[in-house]
Amino acid sequence: MQKRYIFGVDMGGTTIKNGLFTVDGKLLEQWEIPTRVIENGSHILDDITETIMKKAATNNIKIDDVEGIGIGIPGPVGEDGTVYCCVNVGWGIFNIADELYKRTGVCVRADNDANIATLGELWKGAGSGCSNIVMITIGTGVGGGIVTNGKILHGYKGVAGEIGHMIVVDNETVKCSCGRCGCLQQYSSATGIVKGAKQMLAEGNADSVLRKCENLTAKDVCNAAIFGDKIGMQVMDRACWLLGKALAQISCIVTPEVFVIGGGLSKAGMFLVDSIQKYYQEYVFHASSDVGFVLAELGNDAGIYGAAKLFIE
Amino acid sequence: MQKRYIFGVDMGGTTIKNGLFTVDGKLLEQWEIPTRVIENGSHILDDITETIMKKAATNNIKIDDVEGIGIGIPGPVGEDGTVYCCVNVGWGIFNIADELYKRTGVCVRADNDANIATLGELWKGAGSGCSNIVMITIGTGVGGGIVTNGKILHGYKGVAGEIGHMIVVDNETVKCSCGRCGCLQQYSSATGIVKGAKQMLAEGNADSVLRKCENLTAKDVCNAAIFGDKIGMQVMDRACWLLGKALAQISCIVTPEVFVIGGGLSKAGMFLVDSIQKYYQEYVFHASSDVGFVLAELGNDAGIYGAAKLFIE
């Protein structure tokens, strides 16, 4: 008999987001639990099992009626469910699908968090109706997910979509967290934007509203740029130039129907999209000049949708 | 009843290469016919039909015993067999699978020529045993094909893999054939290498064996570099630097198991591969540092193998 429910789980470094779905894709309920990173994250799978079992019981759902648990992980995941390393929560290499199945008795599919967010946006968000999308998440870093022909592109060992680590500036001397110099996320992530603004403020005496900000954020820099502040504009212009150029290169390689822009910085809305797209058009190969640019629509819920989608054809 | 034969066709601007295969993938015979580009290539499909029918008759093969005709086209092809434009032979937009089926009565699958060459190398050549490869063809231009999970990556409208048109140099003023400035193939194709050498010879008085070459070829420049000629070394170094850097960016996006280097320039062998790989290592994200580099093995036959593979699971 056809089972009726799916759980979608999106694991972050601070909280674990959970969704209870019907097998035809309706979100019935969503909730969060904290991520217990103590003792190398060794309690996390038990916590997820407990919260799922409780939610099932509260809703009078028999575990036999659960089709599967989809889960997104903040690190590379192999197609068989092997987690290769998950720095944020202290995990080493193990098979999360097997381990969570042992605890719950339910079939488990796992994937990288950026990938499932992309799949979520394709299914129920900004990419709906498309089969080929690339999602760029601009937050602490610059992350990416690629869906081609409706399927997540994993690449060898699950490391496809590392858009933030494309080297886009030559002769950089400051190192990225990955150890190399000149990665996209050094300039175009929220962190990179703040760094860039601080550097520019320190190097010159130009008037800027940013001098008044005590705890400078990327949002401040973005707002300053929107209101014509010179330093704000210069920093955002560089961030968007490098993003537009990198996306044009991505278009030469995988050619999506749309780019979906998400992450904290995407709250800057069309200002950000328009600036990126302006530079994209300068660099793009003519056959990809009509690729669309849209803002992500599901916000922090993209992950639970995408995780559930792992069980929906 | 299981049919027993497949034809693989690789259409170029000058010749059409053909292969007769068994359905289990054995190449029985191969031959060429010229590509008749006159009158906007309107005779080509009739020529292909005729040569296939003749070959079948000579081998006492009934057309009912032919599983399919796979064909590679020098231009973008949609997944349904739509040729979008094929400048070399004067074709506009039409469905080649339908047209060739009407003439032959045999099921037809079509794809881009770089894509089928990549599929051929994956199946019977340098990428055998792999599921994820990227092939770079360095000849008149720089072309590319991408296979992920054993399937050709088409992207939206079939334009994925346009590696030669990644913009890799800022502030270039000379235009690429595509109308933009700074594309990879302006520096790293055989044509780009010859241009680069000629420019360097014209700009200075440095001693170089290349001054003696009447019709300078990329092979001359490559050989000169191998034997320590300064201008040859500088030109090849730039070509390989930009290739290595571009492949590192491709690794961030699709992450193959191996890069297969093919095309006329690949005859330079390990000199070329080693130089590209040296720069690749400088730019690559650590998770992709063990991606392999191999020379293409099938040469001009890759296309007919890949075309036949379109009918073999």
Whole-number pLDDT of residue A23: 96
Q: How far apart are CA A239 and CA A117, in angstroms?
A: 23
Give the residues of chain B that fall short of pLDDT 70.
none
How far, in Å, are A9, A35, A229, B2, B147 from residue A30 at the CA level?
Answer: 10, 16, 41, 52, 38
Is 90 exceeded by the pLDDT of residue A231?
yes
Whole-number pLDDT of residue B110: 96
The verdict on a CB contact (< 8 Å) between A249 and B166 is yes
Kindly state whether A234 is in contact with chain B, defined as any CB-CB distance less than 8 angstroms: no
Q: How far apart are CA A63 and CA A52, in angstroms?
A: 10
The verdict on a CB contact (< 8 Å) between B159 and A288 is yes
The verdict on a CB contact (< 8 Å) between B178 and A285 is yes
Is 90 exceeded by the pLDDT of residue A86?
no
The verdict on a CB contact (< 8 Å) between A252 and B162 is yes
Whole-number pLDDT of residue A156: 87
Residues of chain B in contact with residue A291, where contact means CB-CB under 8 angstroms, are: 156
Residues of chain A in contact with residue B159, where contact means CB-CB under 8 angstroms, are: 255, 285, 287-288
A-B CB pairs within 8 A amount to 119
Kindly state whether A169 is in contact with chain B, defined as any CB-CB distance less than 8 angstroms: no
Whole-number pLDDT of residue A75: 84
Query: What number is the average pLDDT over the span A230-253?
Result: 97
3-state secondary structure at position B37: coil
Kindly state whether B153 is in contact with chain A, defined as any CB-CB distance less than 8 angstroms: yes
Q: Which residues contact A80 (CB under 8 A, 6 or more apart)?
A: A95, A97
Residue spans of alpha helices (H) in chain B: 38-41, 44-58, 96-104, 113-124, 185-188, 190-203, 218-226, 230-253, 270-283, 302-309
Whole-number pLDDT of residue A100: 98
Q: What is the mean pLDDT of chain A?
A: 94
Residue A229 has a CB neighbour count (10 Å cut-off) of 22
CA dihedral B165, B169, B172, B175 (to 10 degrees): -10
Residues of chain B in contact with residue A160, where contact means CB-CB under 8 angstroms, are: 148, 253-255
Residue A203 has a CB neighbour count (10 Å cut-off) of 9
Is 90 exceeded by the pLDDT of residue A78?
no
The verdict on a CB contact (< 8 Å) between A285 and B257 is no
Kindly state whether B23 is in contact with chain A, defined as any CB-CB distance less than 8 angstroms: no
Bigger pLDDT: A218 or B86? A218
Q: Which candidate in B253, B286, B291 is best for mutational testing of the A interface (most A CBs within 10 A)?
A: B253
Instruction: Report the gap between the CA of A129 and the closest CA in chain B (Å).
Output: 13
Whole-number pLDDT of residue B189: 95
Whole-number pLDDT of residue B157: 80
Instruction: Report the gap between the CA of A211 and the closest CA in chain B (Å).
Output: 32
Residues of chain B in contact with residue A167, where contact means CB-CB under 8 angstroms, are: 245, 248-249, 283
Per-residue pLDDT of B209-261, as tens digits, reads: 999 998 999 999 999 999 999 999 999 999 999 999 999 999 999 999 999 99
Whole-number pLDDT of residue B145: 95
Kindly state whether A1 is in contact with chain B, defined as any CB-CB distance less than 8 angstroms: no
Q: Which candidate in A151, A249, A252, A288 is best for mutational testing of the B interface (most B CBs within 10 A)?
A: A252
Banded pLDDT at A308 (limits 50, 70, 90): very high
Whole-number pLDDT of residue B55: 97
Instruction: Report the gap between the CA of A28 and the closest CA in chain B (Å).
Output: 34
Banded pLDDT at A213 (limits 50, 70, 90): very high
Whole-number pLDDT of residue B105: 96
Query: What number is the average pLDDT over the span A189-214?
Result: 94
Kindly state whether B157 is in contact with chain A, defined as any CB-CB distance less than 8 angstroms: yes
Q: How far apart are CA A119 and CA A305, in angstroms?
A: 8
Bridge partners of A21, per DSSP, are: A6, A27
State which residue of chain B sits closest to A85, comparing Cα positions.
B287
The verdict on a CB contact (< 8 Å) between B161 and A253 is yes
Examine the predicted complex and report whether its ipTM is higher than 0.95: no
The verdict on a CB contact (< 8 Å) between A166 and B253 is yes
The secondary structure of chain A, three-state, reads CCCCEEEEEEECCCEEEEEEEECCCCEEEEEEEECCCHHHHCCHHHHHHHHHHHHHHHCCCCHHHEEEEEEEECCCECCCCEECCEHHHCECCEEHHHHHHHHHCCCEEEEEHHHHHHHHHHHHCCCCCCCCEEEEEECCCEEEEEEECCEECCCHHHCCCCHHHCECCCCCCCECCCCCECECHHHHCHHHHHHHHHHHHHHCCCCCHHHHCCCCCHHHHHHHHHCCCHHHHHHHHHHHHHHHHHHHHHHHHCCCCEEEEECHHHHHCHHHHHHHHHHHHHHCCHHHCCCEEEECCCHHHHHHHHHHHCCCC
Kindly state whether A122 is in contact with chain B, defined as any CB-CB distance less than 8 angstroms: no
Kindly state whether B162 is in contact with chain A, defined as any CB-CB distance less than 8 angstroms: yes
Question: Are the C-beta atoms of residues B254 and B131 closer than 8 Å to each other?
Answer: no
The verdict on a CB contact (< 8 Å) between B156 and A256 is yes
Q: Which amino acid is at A245?
A: K
Kindly state whether B169 is in contact with chain A, defined as any CB-CB distance less than 8 angstroms: no
Residue A186 has a CB neighbour count (10 Å cut-off) of 27
